Structures are given as structure tokens and as C-alpha cells.
Amino acid sequence: MAKQPSTIGASTYQQIKRDIIFGELEPGAKLKLEALRKRYEASLSTLRETLNRLASDGFVEAPEQRGFLVKPVSKEDLREIADLRALIECHALELSVENGDPEWEGNLVAAHHKLHLMEKKLLGGDESGKEDWKRYDFEFHKALISACNSENLMAVHEIVFDKYLRYQMLVLTYRGQEAVDEHKAIFDAAIARDSKSANHMLRQHIQKGLEHSLDAF
């Protein structure tokens, strides 16, 4: 059985990953252990374990004999991540729509409602809650696929989604009403148990988000 991460280690992992995703630790930045120890109040052994885990997940690089650094970004990497996200999430969505029960529907309705309220704030010009917006965005997409009945698929999706989110946060742009309408269309198709339409709309949603991010890169 795999060794479970300690509570402190898991917390440090989430903190550093969050700071990478939201650009507080910039792409290509060297991750010096002593500076990280002071910043995150974690032991050197915890930090080494955390950075190795982040390297395994693709957020950090560990070149031989050069320590750790935040994984650099590129348009090619973004395209690859978007393609991988579409492959994983669209497959999981089809399974989820087919398997979803009333509890799944209720969770999806709640997740879409929270996201829609935050999107209305953004459309109104209030960008103070961008981190909450992206959290609600993830929760909506997670709710969509939560009935796929595969923990492995859900775990891989979360890592890929976070990588995709990192690029969105780097370009700091919002597609506005178009993205709102796409979320509503995906939601309506999923609730109607139209897996083919939901799949098609989700794939388009990811592709348009990719094109938008590439234009702003």
C-alpha cells in the first residue's frame, strides 16, 4: 500500500501548488529550500518530499544537480495540456451523464449556481474574486464528471485541470458572456442526459478557452 502523505506535507503541497498556479511562484523560478522553509514554515525534509511530488505531477522540474525550479511555460505545453484535458474530461463526462443519480444532479445544480453567481459578478466588472471564480469553475467541472465511477480518472483530471488553470491565471483574461453561455449549455445537456451534446459542447468550451489563452499568451 502506498504511504499516505502527512497532514503537514499535504498542506505544504497544496500551498506551493496554489502559489505556482496563481503565479506567485513564477515560471522558471528557482525554488531554494531555505527560502521555502521560511515562507511555508515547513521542515527541509517535508519540502524535499513536497517538491519531488510536485515534480512528479508536472508543476516543478528537478534538473540533475541543479535543485528545483518552477516548470516553465510554453504555447506547445498549453496545447498539449488542453488536448489531454479534453480527452480525459469528455470521456469522464459521458460516463458521468450515463451513471448519474439524483444526488449527482443535485450537486451539479448547486455547483453551476455558485459558478453562475460568480460569473455575474465578473460580468459586472467586479474582478476581486478571481480565485473564488476559478475554484467554482473547477467545482462545476468536477461535479459534471463526479459520477464517472473512477477515482483514478478523477485524480488525473484534477492534476490536468490545475495545469490548464495555471495558464489561465498567467494570462489573466476572462472570456465573458461566451464562457457563461457555454457553461449553461453544458449544464443543460448534462441534466437532460444528452451525453453526445454535452461532450460536444465541453470539447468546444475547452478549445475556445485554449484559443483565447493562446491569443493572450
Averaged pLDDT of the chain: 91
User: How far does the chain reach from its first CA to its final CA, in angstroms?
Assistant: 42
pLDDT, greater one: 35 or 5: 35
Domains of the chain from N-terminus onward: 7-70 (1.10.10.10), 75-216 (1.20.120.530)
pLDDT tens per residue, range 174-202:
788 999 999 999 999 999 999 999 999 99
pLDDT, tens digit, for every residue of 200-213? Answer: 999 999 999 999 88
pLDDT of residue 6: 53
pLDDT at site 91: 97
Q: Alpha-carbon torsion 180, 185, 191, 193, what sign?
A: negative
Q: What is the residue type of 128?
A: S
Angle at 215 between CA 213 and CA 217, to 5 degrees: 65
What pLDDT shows up at residue 2? 40
User: Using an 8 Å Cβ cutoff, are 86 and 207 in contact?
Assistant: yes
pLDDT (average), residues 19-31: 94
Burial 194-214 (b: 16+ CB within 10 A, else e): ebebbbebbbebbeebbebbe
pLDDT one-digit tens code per residue, 40-59: 999 999 999 999 999 999 99
Averaged over 75-98, what is the pLDDT?
A: 97
Residue range 121-153, pLDDT digits in tens:
888 887 777 778 889 999 999 999 999 999 999
